[in-house]
Structure 1
Amino acid sequence: MKRLFWLLLSTLAGHTLTVYAQTCDYEHTPADTPDSRYQINRDGTVTDFRTNLVWQNCPAGLSGKDCLQGKATGMNWQQALLYAEEQRGKKLAGYNDWRLPTIKELRTLSNRQCNYPAVNIHAFPNTPSYWYWSISPVISDGAYAWGIASDYGYDSWSNKLNKGLVRLVRTVR
């Protein structure tokens, strides 16, 4: 019910980008995404040893060592697909196989031990608490696609016309 309320509120509010200080419950909740799981690469990417995926360190629009340069770029689902295609042409970090993650892949970034954002902030610093698109459409309704609300790390669906952030991924070969 709380997730549905947040989804409705964020849809009505136009997905306002809010920055909070991350809070974690180290005593009662095991870490989903420990630091040892990741390798932070010098090319702006992060390798996840558990999933064999390489992620953009910063969401689209942000850059720099700690993702403090620029402004996170909200885009609708179609724009997110086009952004991924453009990055393949630019050879981001020397690779041309970048794509939007599936919802299953995107879920692997969620660290339910923490909120605002529910990610490992050592591997993904200054991650905005916001909606992140996946490539996975909602099968029962083509107007919607799956994503993650990074404030609490829960997946849900959103209208493809709404704004969301993008963190691209590629598979380690």
Structure 2
Amino acid sequence: MSIRVIASPVRASLARPCLGLRAIRASIPTHGALAAPVAVRHLGIPPLIAQPPGGIVGTVNDAVKIPPPDKLHGSYHWTFERLIAIGIIPLTVAPFISDAALAPAVDSVLVTTTLVHCYFGLQSNIIDYIPKREFGKVHDACMWLLLGGTIVTGYGFYKYETNDIGLSGTIAKVWKA
């Protein structure tokens, strides 16, 4: 009997929808020029560029506009990303195996490949989650911020390599700690 009394208010509260959630759902536009895609609707922010209903431009019977082939943004780009990702694996061990005279060169290659790998990964995230067709100038600003951040990080790594013990020295100290 006492279990039923305790469980009853819990069950009743779970059955009722939250008032805050109901208010949020009511504020989301579902039709017209302000209809937002699902990812933006949850934030309550309308898209910067109004999208047609369903994201279809023209009719469903129109032919698909195929972009011109560009190997740099296709198979070559994908292959280069995979080579960079696979190349990081031996480079993480190389500073500890190599001679002390080669350590700065191996360390700089490790830093460069890590920066390129991070740049490509974040660029893919921006392209996927902040598409140009929907966000326009915000997409361009994010791409420029990514490039600027990568350059600043590269300069920081350069100063760290030349004025301090470097990345492999730091990893070795952390490993021994």
TM-score (norm 2): 0.19
* Greater share of strand: 1
TM-score (norm 1): 0.19
Higher relative CO (CA 8 A, sep ≥ 6), structure 1 or 2? Answer: 1
Query: Larger radius of gyration, structure 1 or 2?
Result: 2
